[in-house]
Structure 1
Amino acid sequence: MKITIHQGHQHQLEPSDINIVIDVIRAFTVAHYAFRGGVKEILLVKEVSQAVRLKEQYPNCLLAGEVGGLPIKGFDLDNSPRNVSTHNMFGKTIVQKTTNGVKATLNALEANDVFVTGFSNARSTAEYVKKLAAQIDDAVINIIASHPDGDDDLACAQYMKSIIEGVYSMKAEEVVKRIVNCRAAEKFFDESQPEFDHDDIYFCIKELPEEFVMRVDVGRGIPRILMVTL
Structure 2
Amino acid sequence: MEIKIDQGSDTPTVRADITIVIDVIRAFTVAHYAFLQGAKRIFLAETVEQAILIKKANPTYLLAGEIDGLAIKGFDLENSPYRIQQTDLSGKTLVLKTTNGVRGALRSLSSDHIFVTGLTNARKTADFIRENMTNEKETLVQIMATHPSGDDDLACAEYIKNRIEDTNLVSEADVIERVKKSHVAEKFFDTSNDAFIVEDIFYCIKRLHSDFVMKVSKTGEIPMIVRVYV
For 1:166, the equivalent position in structure 2 comes to 166
CA distance in 2, matches of 1:137, 1:155: 26
For 1:91, the equivalent position in structure 2 comes to 91
The residue identity in structure 2 corresponding to 1:128 is F
The residue identity in structure 1 corresponding to 2:43 is L
- 1:140-164 deviation digits (Å, cap 9, x = unpaired): 0000000000000000000000000
8 Å CA contact 1:64–1:79 kept in 2: the answer is yes
CA distance in 2, matches of 1:55, 1:136: 41
CA distance in 1, matches of 2:79, 2:136: 35
For 1:210, the equivalent position in structure 2 comes to 210
Q: TM-score, normalised by structure 2?
A: 0.98
For 1:179, the equivalent position in structure 2 comes to 179
The residue identity in structure 2 corresponding to 1:156 is C
Question: 5 Å matches for 1:1-230?
Answer: 1-230=1-230
Shift of 1:16: 1.0
Task: List, as ranges, runs of 4+ consecutive aligned residues in structure 1 with deviation greater than 3 Å.
Answer: none
CA distance in 1, matches of 2:9, 2:134: 27
Q: CA RMSD in A?
A: 0.8
CA distance in 1, matches of 2:134, 2:75: 41
Give percent identity, aligned residues only: 47
Shift of 1:5: 0.2
8 Å CA contact 1:19–1:141 kept in 2: the answer is yes
Shift of 1:109: 1.2
Shift of 1:46: 1.0
Shift of 1:134: 2.9
CA distance in 2, matches of 1:210, 1:221: 28
SS of the counterpart of 1:214? strand
Q: Which runs of 5+ in 1 are unaligned?
A: none
Shift of 1:211: 1.1
8 Å CA contact 1:216–1:223 kept in 2: the answer is yes
SS of the counterpart of 1:143? strand
CA distance in 2, matches of 1:101, 1:144: 9
SS of the counterpart of 1:183? coil
- 1:101-141 deviation digits (Å, cap 9, x = unpaired): 00011101111110000000000000001123333342100
Q: TM-score, normalised by structure 1?
A: 0.98
- 1:76-117 deviation digits (Å, cap 9, x = unpaired): 001000111011111010000000000011101111110000
